[in-house]
Every structure is written in structure tokens, then in C-alpha cells.
């Protein structure tokens, strides 16, 4: 990877190196190839949102630790003469190349997963080239969704409910400035729209459609990803508009298990760890919380990236040797277990409480945060 600190604006990385994005995929594949393979695992995995973050990591684990054929859908920007494509555009191509070199079937469809057209394209591809899925992973993180029935465009917002949100955040860049942000409370419309985009409606539409087309195999499972988090992020996340969407997603999992009963299928939610991805980097206050968390978990030796989280989900949760998926009383798998350990959270709180405008760069692992953000865009930090 090129050593470069790319330009960042409002915590969004503005530069991309295609070769570095490809290398990031290769590194994750190499890591998984070194792990023990699973015996008991799915063979045909459909991943919705498979080009980055948790979805790409799921795809890599299914393929390279489980020898599964994978079909992934994602929404990526193609390169033009003036600018490169989005990171996932290059990740998709590298994944396909590495899968082919290992003799694995990999089909990548780039399109808007929320539309009926993309669903029909996926169904046609499954019938002609792929076969029935025995696992469907739902890992979409999107800013907007057009409701296929009404044509209304819904936008997802990251806002608190019931009160304004005021908090410090770090604006990454040359100076990594500490700033106060104030976010107005979500309106009723914001909440409804966020649920429309990030809740379970589209997940259900996918499963209903695939069942109708007889494209989900007996005993298949489907899993979607959620987040709960600690008290420090509650107001902006779990008790905010996004949290309402996650509650909806989690409730949908129960409905999908009912829908899948005739094929003995099951639906799960996996509550994952807070990590730097393209989706999470735009959530205010997350840079501070994640940097404090990285600090503590790296020190304790329990830090994981998306790829390690997803390996643990397959190996220890969904396809473990006991054949029993460990879930909480709301039927959720917890990969946030190490994040939420009381000693970890106590130290994170201590760091966040002790943070001042003078010491924040020393007490937070901002370097680790930025390294992850750069890496997703194909760069390694300058020395």
C-alpha cells in the first residue's frame, strides 16, 4: 500500500488508491486462509452489501474458510476518466480474481439492492448459474432507499430522539481537531425514513421474494447485523433514529424465522463490534468512542477487525461444533461481547472522562482509527 495520509473532509476520505483497495482484500483473504476451515458450513452464500466492511468480511470468510460459492450484491461507483471508482468497486474485482484462482465460484452484481430489478437479476442469476442459497447475509448500510412500492425516496438520518445532541467529536485531518457538535432532534419523518432505509423492510422483501422463487434451500439461515453499544453512544445511536431502525431490523428477524419455517430455515441478528467502516465513520462521536475502545481492546489483546469478527461469527456462533447457536433472550448473537466487557467499558469511560482539549491526542488511539480509515481507501499512514 502506498504510504500516504489521504485528504479527509468531514471524516470522509476523499482519495482512493485502487491497488491499495485490492491489497486490503488480499490481506483479509490471506488472514482467513491461515485459519482452520469449518466443517459444518454453508455452501452457497448470498451477501447483500458484500463489497465492504462486515459484508465483504463475511464473504471472504464463507469463501476462503468454508469453500462456499458466493453471490454478492453491492452499490459501487465505477471509475471515470476524472476520478477513480469507490473502494468497493476495486474490492469486488479483487475478490472475484482471488476466488477464481482458488477455484471458487464468485458472482458479483453491482446495483441497487433495494429495487425490484436487482432482486429479479439476482433471482435469474441464481436460477441459471448459482443455485439455491443456504445462507443469506444482509449487510447493507445505505444513506437512502427508494420504496419500490410507492417510489418515495427515504433518507436515513443520524439524529437523537427527544432532545438535541451535543457532544465532542474529532474532525479528522492534519490537525485532528476536537470540536463540539450539536445535532437537532429527529422529526417523526426522520425516524420513519430511517427505519425505511436501515430497518428490516427490505430484508423481508428479499427473503419473501427468494422463498417465492424457491431460491432458499432447506435448513438455510439468514443473518443481519446490528449494533447496541454503550451509554456514551446511546443518544446518537441506539436510542436515536438509527437505533429505532435497528430495533425494527431485530424484530424482523422473528418474522423471517416464521416465514422460513416451511423450509426449516432460521433468521438471526448478529450484534457486532463498533469498527471503522465507510458507514460508521460518518456517525458523530464515534471517532472518539472507537478510538478509546481501540486503545483499551488493543492493550487487552481482544481487538478484532471486521474479518476476525466474521470468522468468529461463523466458527463459534453460527456453525460451531455443538450445532447450537448461542443467542440472548432477544435471539441475538453477540460479537460485541468483548467490546461490552465491564472492565473494557470502565476503561473506555475513564479515557473519555479524562479527555481534555490538551490531552485527547495522547489518550485516544486516533492513529489506529485513521489507519483503518486509510486502509479501507487503499492507503497506509505516512511514517
Contacts of 24 (CB under 8 A, 6+ apart): 1, 87, 91, 375, 376, 378
Q: Which is nearer to ligand NAI, 20 or 88 (CB)?
A: 88
Residue with cell 451535543: 166
Whether 2 contacts 378, CB under 8 Å: yes
Q: Which three cell numbers stand for residue 96?
A: 472475484
Q: What are the φ/ψ torsions at residue 140 (nearest 5 degrees)?
A: -80, 140
Contacts of 131 (CB under 8 A, 6+ apart): 44, 69
* Distance in Å, CB of 54 to ligand NAI, minimum: 4
Give me the least distance between CB of 279 and ligand NAI, in Å please: 3
Backbone Cα Rg of the chain? 20
Q: Are 210 and 220 in contact (CB under 8 A)?
A: no
Residue closer to ligand NAI, measured from CB, 74 or 167: 74
Binding site for ligand NAI (CB under 6 A): 49-55, 73-76, 88, 112-114, 139-142, 225-227, 272, 274-275, 277-280
Whose Cβ is closer to ligand NAI: residue 144's or residue 219's?
Answer: 144
Backbone angles phi, psi at 167, to 5 degrees: -160, 160
Nearer to ligand NAI, 142 or 171 (CB): 142
Measured from each CB, the residue nearest to ligand NAI is 53
Shortest separation between residue 358's beta carbon and ligand NAI, angstroms: 28
| Mode of pairing for the β-strands spanning 153-155 and 69-74 | unpaired
Shortest Å, Cβ 262 to ligand NAI: 27
Q: How far is the CB of 57 from ligand NAI (least distance, A)?
A: 8
Which residues fall within 8 angstroms of residue 11, CB to CB, at 6 or more apart? Answer: 171, 172, 281, 282, 287, 373
Q: How far is the CB of 28 from ligand NAI (least distance, A)?
A: 13
CA distance 380 to 383: 9
Determine the Cα–Cα distance for residues 318 and 324; give it in Å rounded to an integer.
8
Q: Which residues are catalytic?
A: 237
Amino acid at each position: 500500500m502506498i504510504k500516504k495520509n489521504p485528504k479527509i473532509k468531514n471524516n470522509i476520505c476523499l482519495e482512493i488508491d485502487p491497488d491499495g483497495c485490492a491489497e486490503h482484500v488480499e490481506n483479509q483473504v490471506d488472514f482467513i486462509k491461515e485459519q482452520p476451515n469449518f466443517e459444518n458450513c454453508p455452501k452457497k452464500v448470498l451477501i447483500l452489501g458484500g463489497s465492504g466492511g462486515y459484508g465483504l468480511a463475511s464473504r471472504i470468510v464463507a469463501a476462503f474458510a468454508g469453500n462456499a460459492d458466493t453471490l454478492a450484491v453491492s452499490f459501487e461507483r465505477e471509475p471515470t476518466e476524472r476520478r477513480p471508482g469507490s473502494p468497493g468497486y476495486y474490492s469486488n474485482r479483487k475478490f472475484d480474481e482471488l476466488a477464481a484462482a482458488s477455484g471458487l465460484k464468485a458472482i458479483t452484481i453491482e446495483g441497487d439492492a433495494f429495487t425490484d430489478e436487482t432482486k429479479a437479476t439476482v433471482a435469474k442469476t441464481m436460477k441459471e448459474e448459482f443455485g439455491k442459497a443456504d445462507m443469506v447475509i444482509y449487510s447493507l448500510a445505505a444513506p437512502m432507499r427508494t420504496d419500490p412500492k410507492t417510489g418515495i425516496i427515504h433518507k436515513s438520518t443520524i439524529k437523537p430522539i427527544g432532545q438535541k445532541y451535543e457532544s465532542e467529536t474529532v474532525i479528522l485531518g492534519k490537525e485532528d481537531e476536537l470540536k463540539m457538535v450539536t445535532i437537532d432532534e429527529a422529526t417523526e419523518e426522520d425516524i420513519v425514513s430511517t427505519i425505511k432505509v436501515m430497518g428490516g423492510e427490505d430484508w423481508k422483501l428479499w427473503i419473501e421474494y427468494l422463498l417465492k422463487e424457491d431460491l432458499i434451500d432447506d435448513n438455510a439461515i439468514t443473518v443481519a447485523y446490528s449494533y447496541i453499544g454503550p451509554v456514551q453512544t446511546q443518544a446518537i445511536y441506539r436510542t436515536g433514529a438509527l437505533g429505532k431502525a435497528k430495533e425494527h431490523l431485530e424484530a424482523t428477524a422473528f418474522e423471517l424465522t416464521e416465514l422460513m419455517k416451511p423450509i426449516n430455515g432460521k433468521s438471526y441478528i448478529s450484534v457486532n463490534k463498533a469498527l471503522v467502516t465507510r458507514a460508521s465513520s460518518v456517525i458523530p462521536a464515534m471517532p472518539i468512542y472507537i478510538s478509546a475502545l481501540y486503545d483499551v481492546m488493543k492493550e487487552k489483546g481482544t481487538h478484532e477487525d471486521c474479518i476476525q469478527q466474521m470468522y468468529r461469527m461463523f466458527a463459534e456462533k453460527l456453525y460451531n461444533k455443538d450445532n447450537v447457536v448461542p443467542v440472548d433472550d432477544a435471539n441475538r448473537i453477540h460479537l460485541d461481547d468483548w467490546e461490552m466487557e465491564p472492565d473494557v467499558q470502565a476503561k473506555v469511560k475513564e479515557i473519555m472522562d479524562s479527555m481534555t482539549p490538551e490531552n485527547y491526542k495522547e489518550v485516544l488511539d486516533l492513529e489506529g482509527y485513521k489507519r483503518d480509515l486509510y486502509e479501507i481507501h487503499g492507503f497506509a499512514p505516512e511514517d
